[in-house]
């Protein structure tokens, strides 16, 4: 089917221009800070730091006020990072940092007096939360309408705006902007959330979680209508909007992506430039490449925008094509003779469309669901959940229909071995006094029992070719599941801590490599994801740490005490005699394994060996290149020098199977 395009023009310009390259140092070095200004800012940072420490103690008896301390800390962090990282880019940012430190002190004084006026203020507000990933305080901006009243039961529409790319988007710059600029769209009676997204990563990885945590924080602080949440963004923010619409389609009332890239190979042209990336890297494009999730957009209305002569047009056309292949039409508004910006008339058309959809709201209980995923990281669409796949990084799909008159659910599946149907209390549309029949892939399953509370949650598992209802899809065994499916980068989307070795390495050369990669990982985590990687010595890790963190283990089984405890429980064996991977052996004097695996001491969390997030400096110039570069495991030849793309020579790499095992003969 042809895509529906609402255009203010009669023709489409064909010229596509490449985005200009940016330096691989990211964030780039800023301008010099005059000595007097630096001294004043450092004094302000130190003063606010002392006040924050004092408030932690003073507010302990008042947990509601203590929970608001991140709203103060965002100002301290912004100035501190700008000084330490040398990321002031304009002279005006000196004054902005000074003003923010002053505002931090004002908020601190208000908390000490038992008040928090910004928490109920209207207009432009900046706030913060503590991220579960690394314990860092992350900022976000809000536009709060004049109609908001803290004591009113009224629930507001929420629009989320994903920002565009700026390599100079320090915390100081972000806060300064959102204290004076309401942004592109401010619908009446709507709260607008501006996530920081942990700097400039197209809301990928920790940037993705940043939005989810900011949203949860806003929902705790303001009354939000869950059926009227809208995703919006432009340029890099448009790319983020596409991926959130595709991965979380059933959570939105509407999505309005503007001029954002949608995939890796087409946008970058990487397959046409020299040697292609290795097979596993291409397979991992499935994490964020949106055309492969296009069927999910059948669960959310999308109004896309592109300027007629914008080079990003090809990206939107790619999504049109993918949606058309699924029998859908994309509403695509095109700005006449316009480059990489909104045309004012087109912008109004986008508003009209989105406002009308938001007024109707999301259907919380759709009778039909179409859902595709390539990873259990994204495993839910509405009332249907994919709990297990036959094979990761191949498309898994379900299409589910509710036949209300017949009290029947019909499901077709592909590459799915376990699923759950769940409907919340009060949402179930069936006659709850009757049995409900479920048909999966043409096979009738035993009828479920009638419900008394109008809620329903049933599980199904596939053994061989046969489906059956089961009491639980979790038998307690080791297998890939949501939040525990890899690859290595997945460990850095949840609570993690580095575990530093205190012993002597088995081999000095490999030990030096491990130490260099650990230092680099900590540095680049801060630079790219604007937090601090928490770290523990291997002799201080407690049972509580094992229970709550993904553990990033550095060193080898001799140098790292915790790794020594786990070494014989991993599918890759690492001893002073050799490294065994499947049926292959590698010399330990210049090789080191990296891997992700469920922690044998707590299989609800990961361990990772000798790796931080896996994209490196050569990916910093375009977010489309910021994809996982390593799968579940790899063996690194440390004789080959680390580069801007790789930690060394990669002599083998691959994925564990769905049971986290490595078979002989696997790559």
**What is the residue whose two structure tokens read 């499947």?**
582
Using a cut of 0.85, tell me whether the model's pTM lies above it: yes
The pLDDT confidence band at residue 20, using thresholds 50, 70 and 90, is very low
For residue 147, the tally of other CB atoms under 10 A from its CB is 13
In a domain, 27, yes or no: no
pLDDT at 14 over 90: no
pLDDT recorded at residue 450: 60
In a domain, 33, yes or no: no
451/532 same-domain check: no
499/533 same-domain check: yes
Closest-CA residue to 457 (of 387, 406, 404, 391): 387
508/645 same-domain check: yes
Q: Percentages helix, strand, coil for the chain, rounded to the nearest 5?
A: 30, 25, 40
pLDDT recorded at residue 193: 98
pLDDT recorded at residue 23: 45
- Token readout for 180 is 């004076």
Rounded average pLDDT over 369-394 = 98
Least confident span in 12-16, 83-87, 119-123:
12-16
pLDDT at 449 over 90: no
**Interacting residues of 106 by C-beta distance below 8 A, sequence separation 6+:** none
567/426 same-domain check: no
Rounded average pLDDT over 55-76 = 98
432/516 same-domain check: no
Q: Which domain holds residue 603?
A: 488-654
Asked if residue 254 lies in contact with residue 170, where contact means CB atoms within 8 angstroms, the answer is no
pLDDT recorded at residue 403: 93
Distance CA 354, CA 468 (A): 42
pLDDT recorded at residue 451: 62
In a domain, 328, yes or no: no
The pLDDT confidence band at residue 22, using thresholds 50, 70 and 90, is very low
Rounded average pLDDT over 83-101 = 98
537/611 same-domain check: yes
Dump pLDDT digits (tens) for 498-542: 999 999 999 999 999 999 999 999 999 999 999 999 999 999 999
In a domain, 101, yes or no: no
Bigger pLDDT: 14 or 41? 41
497/634 same-domain check: yes
The pLDDT confidence band at residue 429, using thresholds 50, 70 and 90, is confident
Distance CA 626, CA 543 (A): 34
**Interacting residues of 110 by C-beta distance below 8 A, sequence separation 6+:** 116, 117
DSSP 8-class letter at 15: -
**Interacting residues of 9 by C-beta distance below 8 A, sequence separation 6+:** 308, 334, 335, 336, 337
The pLDDT confidence band at residue 454, using thresholds 50, 70 and 90, is low
Dump pLDDT digits (tens) for 282-325: 999 999 999 999 999 999 999 999 999 999 999 999 999 999 99
pLDDT recorded at residue 496: 98
The domain total for the chain is: 2
- Token readout for 462 is 């596939």
**Edge-first strand listing for the sheet containing 573-575:** 573-575, 578-581, 584-586
pLDDT recorded at residue 16: 30
pLDDT at 448 over 60: yes
pLDDT at 466 over 50: yes
DSSP 275-340: SPPPHHHHHGGGGT-GGGGGGGGGGS-BEEEEETT-TTHHHHHHHHHHHHHTT---EEEEETT--S
Last residue of a domain, one of 436, 470, 504: 470
Dump pLDDT digits (tens) for 357-379: 999 999 999 999 999 999 999 99
Closest-CA residue to 185 (of 311, 303, 316, 9): 303
Reported residue count of the chain is 667
523/565 same-domain check: yes
Rounded average pLDDT over 197-201 = 97
Last residue of a domain, one of 470, 497, 528: 470
Q: What is the enclosing helix (H) or strand (E) of 595?
A: strand 591-599
Asked if residue 210 lies in contact with residue 196, where contact means CB atoms within 8 angstroms, the answer is yes
Rounded average pLDDT over 577-600 = 97
- Token readout for 29 is 């070095």
pLDDT at 45 over 80: yes
Distance CA 304, CA 325 (A): 17
In a domain, 393, yes or no: yes
Helix (H, G, I), strand (E, B) or coil at 422: strand
Closest-CA residue to 417 (of 667, 655, 657, 244): 657
403/516 same-domain check: no
- Token readout for 81 is 């990072």
DSSP 339-355: -SS--HHHHHHHHHHHH
Give percent of the chain with pLDDT exceeding 70.
94
Last residue of a domain, one of 443, 470, 497: 470
Backbone phi, psi, residue 126, to 5°: -115, 140
- Report CA-CA distances (Å) from 312 to 316, 317, 619: 7, 9, 19
422/508 same-domain check: no
Helix (H, G, I), strand (E, B) or coil at 258: strand
pLDDT recorded at residue 433: 73
For residue 475, the tally of other CB atoms under 10 A from its CB is 10
pLDDT recorded at residue 457: 86
pLDDT at 203 over 50: yes
Closest-CA residue to 4 (of 241, 413, 319, 311): 319
In a domain, 327, yes or no: no
Least confident span in 15-24, 221-230, 338-347:
15-24
The pLDDT confidence band at residue 456, using thresholds 50, 70 and 90, is confident
Rounded average pLDDT over 380-393 = 98
In a domain, 103, yes or no: no
Closest-CA residue to 202 (of 81, 272, 289, 125): 289
Is residue 184 exposed (0-12), middle (13-18) or buried (19+ Cβ within 10 Å)?
A: buried
494/621 same-domain check: yes
456/564 same-domain check: no
- Report CA-CA distances (Å) from 16 to 166, 310, 346: 21, 7, 21
In a domain, 435, yes or no: yes
């Amino acid at each position: 089917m042809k895509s529906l395009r609402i255009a203010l023009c009669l023709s489409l310009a064909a010229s596509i221009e490449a985005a200009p390259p940016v330096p691989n140092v990211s964030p780039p070095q800023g301008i010099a800070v005059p000595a007097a200004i630096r001294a004043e800012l450092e004094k302000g940072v130190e003063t606010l730091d002392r006040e924050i420490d004092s408030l932690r103690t003073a507010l302990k008896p008042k947990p509601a006020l203590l929970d608001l301390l991140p709203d103060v800390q965002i100002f301290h962090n912004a100035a501190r990072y700008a000084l330490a990282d040398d990321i002031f880019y304009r002279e005006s940012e000196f004054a902005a940092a000074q003003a923010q430190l002053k505002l931090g002190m004002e908020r601190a004084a208000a908390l000490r007096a038992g008040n928090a006026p910004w928490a109920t203020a209207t207009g432009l507000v900046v706030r913060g939360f503590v991220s579960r990933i690394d314990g860092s305080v992350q900022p976000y901006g809000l536009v709060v309408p004049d109609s908001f009243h803290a004591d009113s039961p009224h629930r507001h529409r929420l629009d989320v705006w994903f920002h565009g790319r700026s390599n100079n988007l320090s915390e100081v710059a972000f806060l300064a902007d959102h204290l004076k600029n309401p942004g592109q769209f401010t619908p009446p009676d709507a709260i607008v959330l501006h996530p920081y997204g942990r700097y400039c990563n197209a809301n990928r990885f920790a940037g993705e979680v940043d939005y989810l945590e900011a949203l949860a924080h806003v929902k705790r602080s303001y009354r939000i209508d869950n059926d009227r949440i809208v995703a919006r963004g432009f340029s890099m923010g448009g790319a983020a909007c596409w991926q959130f619409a595709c991965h979380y389609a059933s959570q939105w009332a509407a999505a309005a992506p503007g001029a954002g890239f949608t995939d890796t190979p087409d946008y970058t042209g990487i397959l046409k430039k020299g040697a292609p990336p290795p097979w596993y890297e291409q397979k991992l494009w499935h994490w964020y490449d949106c055309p492969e999730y296009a069927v999910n957009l059948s669960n959310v209305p999308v109004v896309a925008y592109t300027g007629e002569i914008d080079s990003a047009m090809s990206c939107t056309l790619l999504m049109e094509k993918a949606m058309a292949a699924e029998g859908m039409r994309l509403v695509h508004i095109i700005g006449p003779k316009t480059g990489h910006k909104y045309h004012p008339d087109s912008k109004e058309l986008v508003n009209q469309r989105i406002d009308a959809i938001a007024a109707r709201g999301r259907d919380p209980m759709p009778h039909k669901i179409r859902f595709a995923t390539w990873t259990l990281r994204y495993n839910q669409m509405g009332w249907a959940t994919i709990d297990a796949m036959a094979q990761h990084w191949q498309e898994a799909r379900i299409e589910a229909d509710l036949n209300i008159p017949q009290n029947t659910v019909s499901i077709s599946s592909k590459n799915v071995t376990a699923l759950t149907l769940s409907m919340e209390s009060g949402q179930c549309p069936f006659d709850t006094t009757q049995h409900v029949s479920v048909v999966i892939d043409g096979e009738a399953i035993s009828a479920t029992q009638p419900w008394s509370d109008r809620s329903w949650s049933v599980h199904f598992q596939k053994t061989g070719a046969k489906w059956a209802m089961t009491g639980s899809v979790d038998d307690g065994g080791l297998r890939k599941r949501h939040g525990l499916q890899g690859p290595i980068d997945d460990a850095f989307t949840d609570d993690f801590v580095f575990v530093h070795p205190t012993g002597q390495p088995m081999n000095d050369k490999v030990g030096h490599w491990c130490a260099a990669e650990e230092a680099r990982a900590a540095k680049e985590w801060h630079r790219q994801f604007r937090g601090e990687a928490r770290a523990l010595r291997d002799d201080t890790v407690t049972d509580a740490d094992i229970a709550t963190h993904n553990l990033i283990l550095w060193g080898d089984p001799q140098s790292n005490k915790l790794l020594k405890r786990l070494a014989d429980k991993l599918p890759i064996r690492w001893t002073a005699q050799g490294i065994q991977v499947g049926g292959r052996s590698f010399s330990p004097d210049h090789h080191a394994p990296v891997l992700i695996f469920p922690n044998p001491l707590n299989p609800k969390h990961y361990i990772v060996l000798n790796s931080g997030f896996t994209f490196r400096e050569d990916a910093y110039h375009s977010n489309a290149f910021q994809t996982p570069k390593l799968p579940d495991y790899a063996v690194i030849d440390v004789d080959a020098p680390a580069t801007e793309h790789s930690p060394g020579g990669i002599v083998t790499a691959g994925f564990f199977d769905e049971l986290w095992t490595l078979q002989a003969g696997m790559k």
